[in-house]
Structure 1
Amino acid sequence: MVAAGDDATRITSAFSGRPARGLDNRYIRDMAGREDMFPDFPINNTLTGPLRKASAEAGKEDFMSLWSGQAAALCSTGEQKALLIALVLGSARMRAQEQGTAPMLLLDEIAAHLDSRRLGALFDEILCLGAQVWMTGTDSGLFEPLAGRAQFFSVAEATVTAVL
């Protein structure tokens, strides 16, 4: 499963009785086309529990429920950016925990392609991190939610000017 590609998933009710995207394995392939026979959730989930447990204990993925989200390549540009930001911020949080101080972050065009909900969550998370963060962007309006909570600079013709 480590080498599974973006197309190695399918929607199935085989394990839980509810449709979900799972990594394609032997059980899912064997049960394909028989979903109408499965009892509803949570009954089917309970019934397949011992099979999943035995498969996990044996280290075999053939009968485990391996749930999957959507492949990053299939996501919109904004969703892909949100995934990347989550990885960067998660790494920064982990480093802060391990070392006792948050790393300095340099985030180029970080606000581009994010909707207002994700942008607000990003700024809140950055502020909670307690790190020194340098963010660049060509659209200063995207950074307005940080007014009063961050220091702004403008760079023009090789000159850096504080924006009040």
Structure 2
Amino acid sequence: YDVKVISTPGRLTDHYNPVDKTVNLSEAVYNQRNAAAAAVAAHECGHAVQHAQAYAWLTLRSQLVPAVNISSNISPWLIFGGLLLGAGVKVGFGYYLALFGIILFAVTTLFSFITLPVEYDASNRALAWLKNKNMVSQQEYAGAEDSLKWAARTYLVAALGSLAQLLYWAYRLVGSSRE
């Protein structure tokens, strides 16, 4: 009840901000009255409901944000710096620097996997709302369901990509130290 819905400039800028309790909708979504806009708006409102109900995955994700902000910015530098300083031949400081960078990168990978249930749940809440309130026709509902599921799958691909990158760097460090 204390959440504001506001228009945000740009494309694909739709998001829920738990700090100021705002559902931020891109200008296109905010100003249009169609099934796609309703689906996106309902999805973002799903995050607001998660916040209001203290949805465990959203709470955990929110708690990780400060650590992810730091680790995502410095982990690549630590990994590359460590490799340049001799991690490949297991020279002390370089090896531990790269290892620390990989551990920090693991935090961002964990974050991407924790994001998955948050996004899927928000989409499921949106679809239930669209259906229960008869906001869209059956054909529009099918389109909304398809688009929200594909949007959620982009988070799955990102999480798998992050895991692949984490495993690559870990192998580079551990595999090269065995030589």
| TM, length-normalised to structure 1 | 0.25
Larger CA Rg, structure 1 vs 2? 1
Which structure: greater strand fraction?
1
Which structure: greater helix fraction?
2
